[in-house]
């Protein structure tokens, strides 16, 4: 039986994973940057311009959002450390998306390298 680690390792052999320096240029050229982490992770901080579509909803959201249906969209994906993004990139490839890239090391690597991060401020209701 395969573990989650096995699935991620296998997925990474089938996807395009980009380093942080390449990621900055790819993000500028992307049609969409997808953060596949959970909503609470996204709201704690994310890459500027990213759209949050949690991994568990990804295929459904893309299938039901006309703006994301074009298979030639330039898509950059990331998650916390790159595992969920690798699995997501495989799924998008299986769905026919042609230009999908995943950020190596994910958001943790991005923020550790002092790259730009958006941290939304939410109102207090006290």
122 belongs to a structural domain? no
- pLDDT > 70: percent of the chain: 98
* 121 in any annotated domain: no
48 within a domain of the structure (yes/no): yes
Domain limits at 64?
4-112
Q: Which residues contact 112 (CB under 8 A, 6 or more apart)?
A: 105
pLDDT value for 121: 75
124 within some domain? no
Of 106, 108, 118, nearest in space to 23 by CA: 106
- Of 67, 91, 63, nearest to 77 by C-alpha is 91
- Entry pTM: 0.91
CATH number for the domain harbouring residue 20: 3.40.250.10
122 has pLDDT over 80: no
Q: Which of 80, 66, 69, 76 is nearest to 101 (CA)?
A: 76
User: For 22-34, how does the pLDDT look when each residue is reduced to its tens digit (9 = 90+)?
Assistant: 999 999 999 999 9
Q: Is residue 53 part of a domain?
A: yes
Residues 22 and 110: their CA atoms lie apart, in Å, by 12
Do the domain assignments include residue 123? no
Report pLDDT digits (tens) over 58-94.
Answer: 999 999 999 999 999 999 999 999 999 999 999 999 9
pLDDT, position 125: 72
pLDDT interval class at 120 (50, 70, 90): confident
Total number of domains in the chain: 1
Average pLDDT, the chain: 94
């Amino acid at each position: 039986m395969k573990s989650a680690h096995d699935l991620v390792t296998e997925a990474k052999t089938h996807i395009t994973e980009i380093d942080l320096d390449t990621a900055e240029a790819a993000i500028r050229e992307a049609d969409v940057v997808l953060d596949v982490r959970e909503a609470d992770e996204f709201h704690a901080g994310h890459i500027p311009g990213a759209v949050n579509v949690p991994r568990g909803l990804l295929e459904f959201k893309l299938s039901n959002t006309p703006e994301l249906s074009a298979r030639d969209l330039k898509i950059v994906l990331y998650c916390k450390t790159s595992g969920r993004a690798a699995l997501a990139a495989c799924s998008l490839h299986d769905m026919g998306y042609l230009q999908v890239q995943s950020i190596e090391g994910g958001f943790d690597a991005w923020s550790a390298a002092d790259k730009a991060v958006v941290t939304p401020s939410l109102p207090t209701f006290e």
